[in-house]
């Protein structure tokens, strides 16, 4: 992986393929490898940029608290480094929160956006509280707490479960704690959706146990041009559970 220093953190990224640029942003608490299968299906048509968000994978983090919008700034810095002014972006779950924050802050840099198993809404109070509780547990007991609790919720598919558990166990405590707090404090961007004036694509599994498909349906009704691809039988990891369908859906943005 290549690495670049941005905003005091080292951001690791992979770049592969040729064509229209498309940034694929991973979710929590994973890294860019969650997009591997989709990337193989898209690399003949897209110049793919696959970052590890701050703290995750091979990227470093800071001890200071940070926001989802800081992750969006990291992305802007990475695009500056690569000389890419405007691009398609797609984010999975927390990666979707980063994509939305990026689109809000840098509207002229987004030519289209995909939100996979994500949402625009912020956290209700009990969810927010739960994240702080989990962060305290991770600080005390380690990342195994999150690996054990999240793996069955990410997917019912044993193959996918094996993969995500392995990836989660490799992540660091500061990355998981920092991201949990950033997600808890993220802005509700529902009111931003009707102002978004580039193509918007939603991909969501109908058996997603982490973010219900209703969150995508709520976005869909806000803007007539939004495309919603509902994947029957997919959980929270459609890019692995239904890689072909997810890749085909992302091609709509081109
Ligand atoms: C993710 O998959 O990125 C997270 O589950 C999102 C969240 O917890 O809100």
CA of 74 to the centre of ligand 1 (A): 19
In-domain check, residue 155: no
In a domain, 169, yes or no: no
User: Best mutation site among 32, 53, 93 for ligand 1, i.e. most ligand atoms within 8 A of its Cβ?
Assistant: 93
* Residue 160 domain-assigned (yes or no): no
Q: In terms of residue numbers, what domain contains 107?
A: 2-121+186-253
The secondary element (H helix, E strand) that includes residue 9 is strand 9-17
φ/ψ of 6, rounded to 5, equals -135, 130
Could you tell me the CATH number of the domain that includes residue 54?
3.40.50.1820
Tell me what pLDDT residue 119 has.
98
Cβ–ligand 1 contact at 27 (below 6 Å): yes
Residue 132 lies in a domain: no
> Is 206 within 8 Å of 241 (Cβ atoms)?
no
Cβ of 35 less than 6 Å from ligand 1:
no
Per-residue confidence (pLDDT) for residue 61, from 0 to 100: 93
Question: Residue 63's pLDDT is what?
Answer: 84
Task: Tell me whether residue 107 is in a domain.
Answer: yes
d(CA 63, CA 54): 11
Q: Is residue 136 part of a domain?
A: no
Domain count, the chain: 1
Task: Decide whether any atom of ligand 1 lies within 6 Å of the 238 Cβ.
Answer: no
- Is position 128 within any domain? no
Q: Which atom of ligand 1 is nearest the CA belonging to 154?
A: 2
pLDDT of residue 204: 98
Q: Please report whether residue 167 resides in a domain.
A: no
> How are beta strands 20-25 and 9-17 bridged, if at all?
unpaired
- CB 168 near ligand 1, within 6 Å: no
Nearest ligand 1 atom to the CA of 153 is 5
Per-residue pLDDT of the chain (254 residues; tens, 9 = 90+): 999 999 999 999 999 999 999 999 999 999 999 999 999 999 999 999 999 999 999 999 988 999 999 999 999 999 999 999 999 999 999 999 999 999 999 999 999 999 999 999 999 999 999 999 999 999 999 999 999 999 999 999 999 999 999 999 999 999 999 999 999 999 999 999 999 999 999 999 999 999 999 999 999 999 999 999 999 999 999 999 999 999 999 999 99
- Mark 55-91 as b/e (b = at least 16 C-beta within 10 Å): bbbbbbbeeeebbbbbbbbbbebbbeebeeeebbbbb
> pTM higher than 0.75 for the full model?
yes
Q: Enumerate the β-bridge partners of residue 203.
A: 116, 229
Q: What is the C-alpha to C-alpha distance for residues 111 and 199, in angstroms, rounded to an integer? A: 7
């Amino acid at each position: 992986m290549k690495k670049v220093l941005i905003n005091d953190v080292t951001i690791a990224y992979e770049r592969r393929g040729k064509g229209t640029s498309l940034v694929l942003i991973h979710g929590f608490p994973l890294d860019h490898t969650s997009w591997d299968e989709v990337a193989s299906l898209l690399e003949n048509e897209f110049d793919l940029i696959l970052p590890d968000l701050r703290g995750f994978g091979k990227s470093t983090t800071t001890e200071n608290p940070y926001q989802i919008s800081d992750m969006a700034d990291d992305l802007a810095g990475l695009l500056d480094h690569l000389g890419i002014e405007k691009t398609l972006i797609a984010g999975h779950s927390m990666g979707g929160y980063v994509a939305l924050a990026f689109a809000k802050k840098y509207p002229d840099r987004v030519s289209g956006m995909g939100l996979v198993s994500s949402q625009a809404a912020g956290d209700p109070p009990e969810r927010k509280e739960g994240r702080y509780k989990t962060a305290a547990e991770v600080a005390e007991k380690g990342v195994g707490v999150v690996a054990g609790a999240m793996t069955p919720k990410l997917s019912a598919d044993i193959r996918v479960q094996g993969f995500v558990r392995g990836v989660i166990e490799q992540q660091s405590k500061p990355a998981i704690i920092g991201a949990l707090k950033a997600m808890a404090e993220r802005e509700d961007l529902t009111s931003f959706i009707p102002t978004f004036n580039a193509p918007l694509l939603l991909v969501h599994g109908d058996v997603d146990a982490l973010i219900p498909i209703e969150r995508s349906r709520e976005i869909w009704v806000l803007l007539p041009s939004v495309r919603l691809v509902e994947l029957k039988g997919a959980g929270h990891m459609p890019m692995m559970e239904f890689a072909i369908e997810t890749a085909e859906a992302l091609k709509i943005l081109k």
